[in-house]
Structure formats: C-alpha cells, structure tokens
Amino acid sequence: MAKPLFGAVALQHHGYVRHTEDIDILITPEGLDRFHACLVGRGYLPRFSGSRKKIRETTRHVDIDLFAAGERGGPEALGFVFPDPRGEGFLEVEGLRFPDLAMLVTLKLVSGAAPHRLKDLADVLELIKAIGLDESLADRLLPALRAKYLELLQAARQEPDPNSD
C-alpha cells in the first residue's frame, strides 16, 4: 500500500499549488522501522545524527519528513494523534495516497496551531480560495479546529479580488 503524502504535495492534488522543498509522508510505526531497515544507507540518510523521521534522499537531495501514526501532532492541548494511514480520511489516486480534504485541512490546522508554523494556516486560507471551500467542511473537522477554519474562511471571503478595480 502506498504511504499517504501530505503537506504541499497533497495541497497540489486538491487544487492549490505552491513551492515546497520537502515531502511529508504519514507512515505506521512498523513502516518506519521497515523504512530504516530497507532504505537507510541505500540512497536515504538521516538529516542529522540520531534522526529517525528527518531523512534526506541522497540522489536528488530531497528532504523527507516522516510522521508516525499514533504519535501526537501539534500543540498538546489539541489532543491530536496522527491517524493510521490505512484508515478513513485517505484516498488513493493512480497509486498514490493522499488525505481527503477534511484530513488535509485538519493536518494543516493542527500544524498551524504551533506559533512557528503560520504557513500551514496560510495554506488553508489559499486552499479555501483556490477551490471554493465553504462552511460545510467545518462539520468534518475536529471540534477544537472548527473555529480557526471558520475564521480563515471569513478572511478568505473578505480579501479583495485582485482582478477588480
């Protein structure tokens, strides 16, 4: 089974394109162990000593961030745990797995709750504008994330149209 790609790669799949310098992959804890057993030293290396989740592909020099299912993500107050990538909230397209819209927005809002990750909130704002998301998506988000999503939705609607005078 393909491992779900999220971050900017998943944004592109859903209709908002932006530059990225890394690939984010959600993986099971067992998959993380297999990744290290099979690939580290064979074209993939830890980005720094002792790293298990920050990897560099050595041919094209692509950074890969691995996120393990079952581990906490974002600020502890949210209580978010990365889901099993084999479960609900993911879809497969041409052999690649991506989070569905609700899961992608959830992942971005969780990450954006950290003060140093404001680009993730900007990603949600731009995704709202790019594909015309509305209030109905809020019902599919974690309760702790709904207010922030609705705030970004309101901001997207108030932003002036760059094509008007």
Per-residue model confidence (pLDDT) at position 50: 92
Per-residue model confidence (pLDDT) at position 162: 66
Per-residue model confidence (pLDDT) at position 2: 63
Q: Mark the ranges of the chain whose per-residue pLDDT is less than 50.
A: none
Per-residue model confidence (pLDDT) at position 49: 94
Dist CA 55 CA 130 (whole Å): 31
Per-residue model confidence (pLDDT) at position 95: 86
pLDDT digits (tens, 9 = 90+) for 54-98: 999 999 999 999 999 999 999 988 999 999 998 999 999 888 899
Per-residue model confidence (pLDDT) at position 160: 74
Q: What is the amino acid identity at position 74?
A: G
Helix (H) or strand (E) segment spanning residue 156: helix 143-158
Per-residue model confidence (pLDDT) at position 164: 65
Dist CA 48 CA 42 (whole Å): 16
Per-residue model confidence (pLDDT) at position 4: 80
Q: What is the amino acid identity at position 99?
A: P
Dist CA 137 CA 111 (whole Å): 18
Give 2-42 as a DSSP string: PPBEETHHHHHHHT-----SEEEEEE-HHHHHHHHHHHBTT
